[in-house]
Amino acid sequence: MHDLLGILANLRRPRLLIRAARAGAPDYRRDQHLKRHMGYGRLPRSGPALMHLMEMETQLDSQRRSGDAAYSLVRHVDILIAMMGEARLLRASQTEL
């Protein structure tokens, strides 16, 4: 999982997107927010959830870069917030070991 956090640390996105996500990250509640992206049912652990969120974010970033009319800025920020929240939970679980 260290590689996963390393990939996340090296992610380069527009400053405004990151600032918006950082502003929302303290309010991240896994059981509410992650279900919105993963669907209902049992939620995956933080590592697999983060991997899935990163795949979703990559698709959104590709839409943003290409100027796709289906791109949603709100969804992009929401995914980034979830990524930050899951990364925080993953780091916390690693320090407990």
Instruction: Say yes or no to pLDDT of 97 above 70.
Output: no
Contact 1, 47 (CB under 8 A): yes
Residue 78 lies in domain: 2-96
**Structural domain count, the chain:** 1
Contact 4, 61 (CB under 8 A): no
For residue 8, what pLDDT band results from cuts at 50, 70 and 90?
A: low
* pTM for the model: 0.86
Q: What digits encode the pLDDT tens for the residues 40-89?
A: 778 888 888 889 999 999 999 999 999 999 999 999 999 999 998 988 88
Residue 1: the pLDDT is 47
Contact 53, 86 (CB under 8 A): yes
Distance of CA 14 to the CA centre of its chain: 15
Q: What digits encode the pLDDT tens for the residues 23-33?
A: 999 999 988 88
